[in-house]
Structure formats: structure tokens, C-alpha cells
């Protein structure tokens, strides 16, 4: 993977985890809560506004699609998994977009720009899904349930192995 693209996946995940009221410090890549101190700081000292946020999310999503489309025709197993993960990460940004819209609900133009980005992202994802037969994975809870079931299965297997090992040990003769 290109070093210029190394930060795309974490940024997509970052966007998808935004909550209502979260404001992004774009320069330092962290979330600031919406309070008076941060408002003063963002307004006068470390100028960071919703225009920066909009530019950040738009650029990140665009670069995410660029990376996905760069690897989509590959038959390399790494690239196939990378594309599936990128697709899911791009799909999950919709949650963050919705929460950003709620954060800046009083700004009609910002909300409209976020809505346009949501629609554009959904259209591109639908096109990719139909053209390349990439399917969105189920939500993370189902993924975690599968992982938990596998862990449980492995634990059972380990217990069975332990039990079999105990049965295979020669018994001590107490005579």
C-alpha cells in the first residue's frame, strides 16, 4: 500500500465513530466536545471550523474511494480483503455524517453539504456493489458474535483435548 494512503482507513473509521455533538480538531485529529472552553479555543486560538471539518470528511471519503478503485480489479487476496474492508468503512461513514449533521443542525448549508456527501457516497457504494459484487458485511455485533462463537468453539476443543490427555495418561499403580 502507498504510504500516502496509509492514513485513509483510520480516518474513515474515525469519521464513522463520531457522535452527536463531537467536533473534529482536524489539525491534530482528535474529537473535541462541544463546550464553552473548546468554542473559545476553536474560534480564537486554534482556528478550526466546520469548513475544515467538511473539507476533511469530503477529502477522506474521496481518497477512500480512490484507494478502493485502485485495488478493486486485483486478484491478490490482500487486495480483495482490503477492498471489502474499505467498502465497509466507507459505508460506515454514513453514521458519522448523520451525527455531524446533528452537531451542526443550525447551519442549513453545512447540513445540505453533508446530505449531498451522504447521497454521493451511497450512490458510489451502490455502483461498486452492483459492478463488483462487493456486499456490505453485517453490522459489527454480528461480526463479534461470530468471533465469540469461534472462541467458544476453540475453548470447547481445548477442554476436550485436556480431557483426552488426562484419559491417555497412564494410571499410577498404588501397589
Helix (H) or strand (E) run with residue 91 in it: helix 77-103
> What span, in angstroms and rounded, lies between the C-alpha atoms of 65 and 57?
12
For residue 27, being part of any structural domain is answered with: yes
Task: Give the domain range for residue 14.
Answer: 7-36+43-154
> What span, in angstroms and rounded, lies between the C-alpha atoms of 25 and 31?
6
For residue 172, being part of any structural domain is answered with: no
The pTM score is 0.71
Beta pairing class for 23-25 and 30-32: antiparallel
Mean pLDDT of the region 116-144: 80
For residue 174, being part of any structural domain is answered with: no
Does the pLDDT value for residue 98 go beyond 80? yes
More confident residue, 62 or 133: 62
Q: Residue 116: what pLDDT?
A: 98
> What span, in angstroms and rounded, lies between the C-alpha atoms of 26 and 49?
9
For residue 63, being part of any structural domain is answered with: yes
For residue 162, being part of any structural domain is answered with: no
For residue 163, being part of any structural domain is answered with: no
For residue 65, being part of any structural domain is answered with: yes
Q: Residue 149: what pLDDT?
A: 46
* Neighbouring C-alpha atoms within 13 Å toward the C-beta of 119: 6
| pLDDT digit string, tens, across residues 17-48 | 999 988 888 888 878 777 777 667 656 666 66
Q: Residue 18: what pLDDT?
A: 95
For residue 169, being part of any structural domain is answered with: no
**Coil, strand or helix: which one is 170?**
coil
Which residue pairs from 116-122 have beta carbons closer than 8 angstroms and sit at least 24 positions apart in sequence?
Answer: 117/57, 117/58, 117/61, 118/94, 121/61, 121/90, 121/93, 121/94, 121/97, 122/94
Mean pLDDT of the region 131-139: 73
Mean pLDDT of the region 60-87: 96
Structurally, how many domains does the chain consist of? 1
Amino acid at each position: 500500500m502507498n504510504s500516502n494512503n496509509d492514513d485513509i482507513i483510520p480516518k474513515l473509521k474515525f469519521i464513522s465513530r463520531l457522535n452527536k455533538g463531537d467536533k473534529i480538531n482536524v489539525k491534530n485529529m482528535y474529537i473535541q466536545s462541544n463546550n464553552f472552553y473548546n468554542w473559545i479555543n476553536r474560534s480564537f486560538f486554534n482556528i478550526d471550523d466546520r469548513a475544515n471539518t467538511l473539507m476533511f470528511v469530503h477529502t477522506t471519503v474521496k481518497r477512500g474511494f480512490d484507494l478502493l478503485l485502485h485495488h478493486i480489479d486485483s486478484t491478490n487476496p490482500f487486495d480483495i480483503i482490503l477492498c471489502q474492508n474499505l467498502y465497509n468503512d466507507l459505508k460506515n461513514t454514513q453514521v458519522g455524517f448523520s451525527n455531524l449533521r446533528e452537531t451542526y443542525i443550525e447551519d442549513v448549508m453545512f447540513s445540505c453539504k453533508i446530505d449531498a456527501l451522504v447521497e454521493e457516497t451511497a450512490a458510489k457504494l451502490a455502483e461498486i456493489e452492483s459492478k463488483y459484487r462487493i456486499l456490505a458485511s453485517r453490522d459489527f455485533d454480528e461480526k463479534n458474535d461470530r468471533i465469540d462463537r469461534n472462541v467458544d468453539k476453540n475453548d470447547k476443543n481445548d477442554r476436550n483435548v485436556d480431557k483426552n490427555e488426562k484419559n491417555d495418561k497412564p494410571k499410577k499403580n498404588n501397589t
